[in-house]
Amino acid sequence: MSQTDLLNIVHRPRRLRRTPAIRNLVKENTLSKSDLVFPLFVCPGSNVVEEVPSMPNSFRYSIDNAVKECKELWDLGIQAIDLFGIPEEKTEDGREAYNDDGIIQRAIRAIKEAVPDLYIMTDVALDPFTPFGHDGLVKDGIILNDETVEVLCKMSISHAKAGADMVSPSDMMDGRIGAIREALDDSGHSDVGILSYSAKYSSSFYGPFRDALHSAPQFGDKSTYQMDPANSDEGMKEIELDIMEGADIVMIKPGLAYLDIVYRTKERFDVPVAVYHVSGEYSMVMAGAEKGWIDGDRVMMESLVAMKRAGADIIFTYYAKEAAKRLS
Ligand code: PBG
């Protein structure tokens, strides 16, 4: 083929993809360790490290081992965790949730003592704390709203007293952000922030998490409080309400299947946006990799940068440690 047979193209986008150096120069989004939050499962007992059956390479830790894990996270450059707990006892009133000597409260104190600069967020919802596995109090098969919010306020104050930096309500009750903000302020914790699970969908991607925390709903599903996966405007409304009520950070959950919601949120609101790369997303990749059908590590890294591209500032992921190692 002679020179004259070549196409006469002015714009050749491939010029900017020719070598690693030029690709790096024109890279638009970068994942960094400081974007990541590691969700940490704490369980009763001592010297426990238990792999979650449906989440390969993800573990439940007793407090002593959770502390070791936190040191490791910190050394890897991960600066924030979100704590989830399995209580000693589940009761219909969920009272272990606001026991100042409960599993989360003790974990916060132990971790703060060992790794003082690690930023501690705590999950605020009742699902692991009652036998029903619902995020709120239950009466006659109904998930109560206002009565639940009262308990979530007590839970938040208890976490703040133990030293939590930020509470993260994941329950989706109406009005809880405003009520928690007021409860924290009135109890002298105006420095404690709120990351709200604002647009949280009623999703089947949460299965492995419920396995990890023994918190699967014992009747029905969560669709009277979590959002319909078919909706988008409704997510904007939830986010607007939470910002008005005092949320410092808003979250969209799950991640990959809801990046349009992340994008819309980032375009529309001027607050930090978090996204949760949830258990089911994690486990699907791990399972595919175990079968040898996909390159798990590359799929994970691609998923995380896709979340950044959509507009996420913060990513909650069980893959945080591995990602941090790959980013080093
Ligand atoms: C419950 C809660 C859930 C997750 C975080 N907080 C599960 C649920 O709503 O049933 C899911 C996280 C994940 O799947 O990784 N308050």
For the question of residue 200 being annotated catalytic, the response is: yes
Give residue 75's region: left, alpha or beta (phi > 0; psi -120 to 50): alpha
Q: What is the pLDDT of residue 197?
A: 98
Tell me the angle at which helices 320-327 and 296-310 cross, rounded to the nearest 10 degrees. 90
Q: What are phi and psi of 232, to 5 degrees?
A: -125, -50
Residues with CB under 6 A from ligand 1: 123, 125, 127, 135, 170-171, 206, 209-210, 222, 278-279
Q: What is the pLDDT of residue 5?
A: 74
209 Cα: distance to centroid of ligand 1 (angstroms): 6
247 Cα: distance to centroid of ligand 1 (angstroms): 19
37 Cα: distance to centroid of ligand 1 (angstroms): 15
In angstroms, the CA 93 to CA 104 distance is: 17
Nearest CA to 284 out of 275, 293, 276 is that of 293
Which residue bears the tokens 């573990």? 59
In angstroms, the CA 220 to CA 192 distance is: 34
For the question of residue 112 being annotated catalytic, the response is: no
Q: Please tell us whether the domain made up of 30-327 is placed in CATH 3.20.20.70.
A: yes
Q: What is the ipTM of this complex?
A: 0.98
Per-residue confidence in pLDDT tens, the chain, 328 aa: 555 678 889 999 999 999 999 999 999 999 999 999 999 999 999 999 999 999 999 999 999 999 999 999 999 999 999 999 999 999 999 999 999 999 999 999 999 999 999 999 999 999 999 999 999 999 999 999 999 999 999 999 999 999 999 999 999 999 999 999 999 999 999 999 999 999 999 999 999 999 999 999 999 999 999 999 999 999 999 999 999 999 999 999 999 999 999 999 999 999 999 999 999 999 999 999 999 999 999 999 999 999 999 999 999 999 999 999 999 9
Give residue 278's region: left, alpha or beta (phi > 0; psi -120 to 50): beta
Catalytic residue among 90, 112, 222, 253: 253
Catalytic residue among 90, 112, 200, 308: 200
Q: Write down the H helix ranges in 77-175.
A: 103-114, 146-162
Q: Say if pTM beats, i.e. exceeds, 0.95.
A: yes
Task: Pick the atom of ligand 1 nearest to 207's CA.
Answer: 14
Q: Domain segments of the chain: what residues?
A: 30-327
100 Cα: distance to centroid of ligand 1 (angstroms): 23
Q: What is the pLDDT of residue 4?
A: 62
Q: What is the pLDDT of residue 6?
A: 84
12, 16, 23, 24, 193 from 20: Cα distances, Å: 17, 9, 5, 6, 40
Task: Pick the atom of ligand 1 nearest to 278's CA.
Answer: 15
